[in-house]
Amino acid sequence: MPRFPEIADAASATRGAVYSTVAARLAAHSGERYPLHIGDTWMEPPAGCRMEDLHVAEYPGMHRYAPVAGLPTLLEAIAARVSARSGQATAVDELLITSGATGALAAAVTAIAGPGDEVLILAPYWPLIEGIVHQRLAIPVPVPAFAGEVADAEALIAALEARLSPRSVAVYLNTPNNPTGRVLPRAWVEAVAAWARSRGLWILADEVYEDYIYAGEHVYTRPLAPERTLAAHSFSKAYGMAGNRCGYLIGPAEVIVHARKAAAHTFYSTPTAAQIAAERVLAGPGDAWVRDARARYQALGEAAAARLGVPAPAGSTFLFLDVAEHLDERGLGGLLERCADRGLLIAPGPSFGPYPTHVRLCFTSAPPEVVERGVEILAAILGR
Amino acid sequence: MPRFPEIADAASATRGAVYSTVAARLAAHSGERYPLHIGDTWMEPPAGCRMEDLHVAEYPGMHRYAPVAGLPTLLEAIAARVSARSGQATAVDELLITSGATGALAAAVTAIAGPGDEVLILAPYWPLIEGIVHQRLAIPVPVPAFAGEVADAEALIAALEARLSPRSVAVYLNTPNNPTGRVLPRAWVEAVAAWARSRGLWILADEVYEDYIYAGEHVYTRPLAPERTLAAHSFSKAYGMAGNRCGYLIGPAEVIVHARKAAAHTFYSTPTAAQIAAERVLAGPGDAWVRDARARYQALGEAAAARLGVPAPAGSTFLFLDVAEHLDERGLGGLLERCADRGLLIAPGPSFGPYPTHVRLCFTSAPPEVVERGVEILAAILGR
């Protein structure tokens, strides 16, 4: 039967914004605001790689469509870079340039999961992965692991095994981890890859913070199981270009074909100017910009962690705090409202998995002095 | 059961590119190329509205994420413009800014259609709508109408009625029409809207060529059935900004909420710079640019049509030709290869519905003198 005015199941299954009540409180606040709930950076992208640097005289037709797969010159630059960095030889047909890593993971999930399929999601996780799975009418199965639930690779695999079902099709992992700031040890990533292979699962590897590691090393998942890994990367996080919407997906060529169709039928192509900016950043000032940003981010993370009395993050741009002891009868919503009353926005734990008493704070989403004042407010509210 | 290395049904149901064989032929051609298969323009966007005009000094943070719904200032400008142009009062919460009209229609279909649902698609149609429906595991039901199949509004409704089923959830119409260049008369649009209401269906109105009409008038669908119409519009087509990826969806606020979630989980947000460029074009030189482009497009369409012996288009940037009498035993593929051997790319009829002997040509996708030479090649091949 026609379903007007009802909406589709995939739409109703997907959660929307969680900020409505907090937004009202924030609107009543007239002072400075501290938007530490978003994963972003206050830094402008490198000079020479900004929109103002992209001239029609140099790039005629730069406002026209790019090919769905991406600009050939950018594809070649990324293939060379991925081959060198990850140690896994990567061809152009194993790449898809996408509307950020969100576009990469949405296209990847479309290619491999459908109604009723289960995707095991190591938690805490990047919030949108849950909704991306819901959009396919598939079922996200959180596997709590990185907030202290598992102590070693063996326990990690036991947690996955306990949630495996005949409907499982994939396992998602996110390292450096948003929201915890953890960098997964090599043994853990190797164990997940080997287990996924033994169980016939796809692997979704979200590695958008690969450049922001302050302790330990980034372990690329794809070289460990290239036949089944779909890895998402981002110019947004690496170079302060989130508004450009440019990331990429790497995977087996025979899956990328299908991910490319998903991309063509959702955002069509990645913005042409964003791809030119990405080419320029790879060819020019990108590495130096990252070195500078990494040093600044590390100092900010350490300062915020010290003020809040939690361990410094090993990677990413986030702190994830258990605030259970500071909740009153209004629960986490009450705490978020108390923060919003003073202009501070932080993200609620349930966005990242079964974490009803946690909050996430991004220590790079505003200029350092603004972050510092926001952290002071949170410290005061938490009595630290 | 885990399905690695199989892929998901929605991915396998969606068609990919149809150009593989033709691309090989084109690669062997060393002379000038005539890319008339793509819907695009050779014109650069208005001065003042190009990426080079968007400076960090004027727009600090312009490379950061925009809100998922869109920049508030652009939303307000579009709401005012849509209210004035369509006569339908439009609020900001009835709008979603998207990665082009593709992003708008993908989000709209996600909100209203799911597995097994049927979407009636008036044909010939914009090629991607078929795949967008497949991506939801829904079923596109072509309703041939605009290539001479129906003579009046009554016959149009009879064609729709004949394909209505208990699974029908929506009807899609595209005016000015890509690929036929037709502009649907008011009586036809009114009839579709009234019929959809009587049958409890959603309406998907693709109106991206609203500014490019050379005969007749554009009839906005949404004012005729605002409670059920989701209308897609584009800065790409209007202002030569396809590579920016900025369009918008208009619909009931309670549906836009769900379309916004679909957008957040596929491309996240529309590029920030693209939205600033859109604001600038609406506030400044957009109307004058469109007047100029319209006059040029009209002259090009008339010249191409005259040379090929078909009626001049009433709107859009396309000609749709039946080439049945020129096909040999190799069929349409053979004709496309003969064109590619001479550097000419045109789009095959089956991309637009059940049109095995048609081709589509875009008369604005290359500079006028290039289009003219491409048209000469086609005329020669067709013996015209």
Which member of A102, A169, A245 has the closest CB to residue B3? Answer: A169
Which member of B114, B242, B271 has the closest CB to residue A243? Answer: B271
Chain B CB contacts of A131 under 8 Å are: 261, 264-265
Question: For residues B56 and A52, is the Cβ–Cβ distance under 8 A?
Answer: yes
**Per CATH, is B57-283 categorized as 3.40.640.10?**
yes
The residue length of chain A stands at 384
Does A112 touch chain B if contact means CB atoms closer than 8 Å?
Answer: yes
Amino acid (one-letter) located at B222: R
Whole-Å CA distances, B233 to A55, A69, B38: 27, 24, 18
Residue carrying structure tokens 């690779």: A153
Task: Find residue A202's DSSP bridge partners.
Answer: A170
Chain A CB contacts of B56 under 8 Å are: 44, 50, 52
Does B56 touch chain A if contact means CB atoms closer than 8 Å?
Answer: yes
Question: For residues B293 and B17, is the Cβ–Cβ distance under 8 A?
Answer: no
Q: Which of A120, A125, A101, A128 is nearest to A180 (CA)?
A: A125
Interface test with B, best of A55, A268, A280, A289 (most B CBs within 10 A): A268
Edge to edge, the sheet with strand A358-362 lists A318-322, A358-362, A347-348
Per-residue pLDDT of chain A (384 residues; tens, 9 = 90+): 447 888 899 988 888 865 556 878 888 899 999 999 999 999 999 999 999 999 999 999 999 999 999 999 999 999 999 999 999 999 999 999 999 999 999 999 999 999 999 999 999 999 999 999 999 999 999 999 999 999 999 999 999 999 999 999 999 999 999 999 999 999 999 999 999 999 999 999 999 999 999 999 999 999 999 999 999 999 999 999 999 999 999 999 999 999 999 999 999 999 999 999 999 999 999 999 999 999 999 999 999 999 999 999 999 999 999 999 999 999 999 999 999 999 999 999 999 999 999 999 999 999 999 999 999 999 999 998
Confidence band (pLDDT; 50, 70, 90) for B23?
Answer: confident
Tokens of A68: 């769905």
E strands, A270-332, where?
318-322
**DSSP structure class, residue A315:** B
Which regions of chain B carry the CATH code 3.40.640.10? 57-283
The reported pTM is 0.97
Query: Do A63 and B113 count as a contact with CB atoms less than 8 A apart?
Result: no
- Other CB atoms within 10 A of residue B282 CB: 19
Which member of A7, A10, A66 has the closest CB to residue B243? Answer: A66
Does B319 touch chain A if contact means CB atoms closer than 8 Å?
Answer: no
Amino acid (one-letter) located at B124: P
The percentage of residues in chain B with a pLDDT greater than 70, rounded to a whole number, is 98
How confident is the model over B282-310, as a mean pLDDT? 98
Does A31 touch chain B if contact means CB atoms closer than 8 Å?
Answer: no
- HEC states along chain B? CCCCCCCCHHHHHCCCCCCHHHHHHHHCCCCCCEECCCCCCCCCCCCCCCHHHCCCCCCCCCCCCCCCCCCHHHHHHHHHHHHHHHCCCCCHHHEEEECHHHHHHHHHHHHHCCCCCEEEEEECCCCHHHHHHHHCCCEEEEEECCCCCCCCHHHHHHHHHHHCCCCEEEEEEECCCCCCCCCCCHHHHHHHHHHHHHHCCEEEEECCCCCCECCCCCCCCHHHCCCCEEEEEEHHHHHCCHHHCCEEEECCHHHHHHHHHHHHCCCCCCCHHHHHHHHHHHHCCHHHHHHHHHHHHHHHHHHHHHHHCCCCCCECCEEEEECHHHCCCCHHHHHHHHHHHCCEECEEHHHHCCCCCEEEEECCCCCHHHHHHHHHHHHHHCCC
Q: Which of A82, A140, A147 is nearest to A116 (CA)?
A: A140
* Four-residue CA torsion sign, B98, B100, B105, B110: negative
Q: Is A359 helix (H, G, I), strand (E, B) or coil?
A: strand
Query: Do B106 and A266 count as a contact with CB atoms less than 8 A apart?
Result: yes
- Closest residue of B to A170, CA-based? B2
What are the tens digits of pLDDT across the range B243-272? 999 999 999 999 999 999 999 999 999 999
Q: How far is A325 from chain B (nearest CA, A)?
A: 33
Does B234 touch chain A if contact means CB atoms closer than 8 Å?
Answer: no
Query: Do B4 and A38 count as a contact with CB atoms less than 8 A apart?
Result: no
Query: What is the CATH T-level fold of the domain B9-44+287-381, as seen in this structure?
Result: Aspartate Aminotransferase, domain 1 (3.90.1150)
Which member of B2, B137, B227 has the closest CB to residue A169? Answer: B2
Q: Which of B218, B224, B176 is nearest to B198 (CA)?
A: B224
Which regions of chain A carry the CATH code 3.90.1150.10? 9-44+287-381
Whole-number Å distance between alpha carbons of A181 and A146: 10
| Chain B, window 165-184: residues with a beta carbon less than 8 angstroms from a chain A beta carbon | 166, 168-169
Query: Which distant-in-sequence residues (6+ apart) come within 8 Å of B184 by Cβ?
Result: B146, B173, B175, B176, B177, B219
Whole-number Å distance between alpha carbons of A240 and B267: 17
| Chain A, window 242-261: residues with a beta carbon less than 8 angstroms from a chain B beta carbon | 242-245, 252, 254-255, 257-261
Does B26 touch chain A if contact means CB atoms closer than 8 Å?
Answer: no
- The H or E element spanning position A86 is helix A72-86
Question: For residues B124 and B160, is the Cβ–Cβ distance under 8 A?
Answer: no
Q: How far is A78 from chain B (nearest CA, A)?
A: 20
Residue carrying structure tokens 């967008």: B132
Q: How far is B329 from chain A (nearest CA, A)?
A: 30
Which member of A2, A14, A169 has the closest CB to residue B265? Answer: A14
pLDDT at A20: 55
Max distance between CA atoms of chain A, in angstroms, equals 62
Query: Do B100 and A267 count as a contact with CB atoms less than 8 A apart?
Result: yes
Residue B75 has pLDDT above 60, yes or no: yes
